[in-house]
Amino acid sequence: MASARIGSTVGPAAPSRTEGPTTPVATTPASPAPSGWTPKPAAAAIAEPGFRTVDEGRAKWAATSGQLFVDGVSADDALQGSLGDCYAVSGFAALAAVDPTAISDAITDNHDGTCTVRFYKDSFLGLLTRGQQPTYVTVDTQMPTTDGSTPAYAHGRDPKELWPLVLEKAWAKFDGSYQSAGKGGSPVTVWQALTGRSGSMTLNATRGTGLFEQLQRTLAAGRPVAATTTLASSKATNGLVSQHVYAVLSVREEHGQQLVQLRNPWGHGEPGADGRNDGVFTLPFAEFKKHYGLTFFGG
């Protein structure tokens, strides 16, 4: 069941890098910082053969420059774009919340305009043995954009931070293509690939109070958690997006009330009004159980 394709909602388009009050980011800086990621020369920078985008024919591939990490890895770094991979972006965010080095250690900057991501693959080692074998996926800085500079798919909250684009591209390559990765999936599969540990999935309706304890226990152990809303959860009624995977960032008990903190991978869009529309919000556990049908636990 862990490999079932579930969350395939897409995020809104990224704000244009050339509009608004934000400082435009040059795609080809004359002298990138030593720690920065230098795009390959245009002649060498082509998308790998067969590496197709969902917006085939419309998306423009363009070199992106910046730094792999800005202030390390954190849960709010990655914003989902117009690819149906909420399960993957929320998987990244959930893992970043509890074990950021699991992400930073998996990505190596080759300092030649490419990065290599280590994923673990479940493979047969012998007649009766199986294990997690590392497999390495190298991607370049060429990313699908909407206009030659604005990332079409996952991107950084900070436009200079590139790990969300790199990790999503590597995940897409590992999964087969952007088209394949964008058909939905399970965060458990993403975590297994990044950590080598298998996880589990639970149907919330069938669980009693044990579910909150499992949330507490899993997060306290530094293992990621995510959850998907049901079909009935509607943006129109409660600010939640239906059939959308959210990262579970933390749980706590306050004045006897059990609370769950969640994050929309869009980086905005949330029920209630906590004063900051950043996609991060808190629900009473009973509301969480009502609106979220499945919970994913990383191993």
Instruction: Report the nearest approach of Ca ion to the CB of residue 229 (Å).
Output: 17
Q: How far is it, in rounded angstroms, from Cα 127 to Cα 129?
A: 6
| CB nearer Ca ion, residue 61 or residue 92 | 92
- The CA-atom distances, in angstroms, between 70 and each of 167, 201, 263, 265, 272 are 15, 32, 20, 19, 30
CA count, 13 A, side-chain hemisphere, 246: 34
Amino acid sitting at position 135: T
Stretch that binds Ca ion, among 40-48, 68-76, 89-97, 191-199 (CB under 5 A): 68-76
By CB under 5 A, name the one of 102, 280, 283, 294 that touches Ca ion: 280
Q: How far is it, in rounded angstroms, from Cα 2 to Cα 6?
A: 10
| CB nearer Ca ion, residue 82 or residue 282 | 282
Could you give phi then psi for residue 12, rounded to 5 degrees?
-70, 160
| CB nearer Ca ion, residue 6 or residue 249 | 249
| CB nearer Ca ion, residue 77 or residue 85 | 77
| CB nearer Ca ion, residue 211 or residue 280 | 280
Instruction: Report the nearest approach of Ca ion to the CB of residue 280 (Å).
Output: 5
Instruction: Report the nearest approach of Ca ion to the CB of residue 278 (Å).
Output: 5
Instruction: Report the nearest approach of Ca ion to the CB of residue 66 (Å).
Output: 11
> Do the beta carbons of residue 94 and residue 248 sit within 8 Å?
yes
Amino acid sitting at position 204: N
Q: How far is it, in rounded angstroms, from Cα 51 to Cα 15?
A: 24
How many chain residues are in contact with Ca ion, going by CB under 5 A? 8
| CB nearer Ca ion, residue 171 or residue 281 | 281
Stretch that binds Ca ion, among 27-35, 168-176, 201-209, 269-277 (CB under 5 A): 269-277
Cβ count near 48 (within 10 Å): 13
For helices 86-98 and 187-195, angle between their N-to-C axes, nearest 10 degrees: 50
Q: How far is it, in rounded angstroms, from Cα 96 to Cα 206?
A: 28
Instruction: Report the nearest approach of Ca ion to the CB of residue 69 (Å).
Output: 6
| CB nearer Ca ion, residue 58 or residue 276 | 276
CA triplet 70, 10, 83: central angle to 5 degrees?
65
By CB under 5 A, name the one of 10, 197, 200, 278 that touches Ca ion: 278
Q: How far is it, in rounded angstroms, from Cα 84 to Cα 161?
A: 21
Pairing state between β 142-145 and 114-124: unpaired
> Do the beta carbons of residue 109 and residue 206 sit within 8 Å?
no
Stretch that binds Ca ion, among 8-16, 70-78, 98-106, 198-206 (CB under 5 A): 70-78
By CB under 5 A, name the one of 35, 274, 284, 286 that touches Ca ion: 274
Instruction: Report the nearest approach of Ca ion to the CB of residue 78 (Å).
Output: 9
Binding mask 123-162 for Ca ion (x = CB under 5 A): ----------------------------------------
By CB under 5 A, name the one of 235, 252, 268, 276 that touches Ca ion: 276
**71 touching Ca ion, by CB under 5 A:** yes
Residues lying near Ca ion in the complex (CB under 5 A) are found at 70-71, 77, 274, 276, 278, 280-281
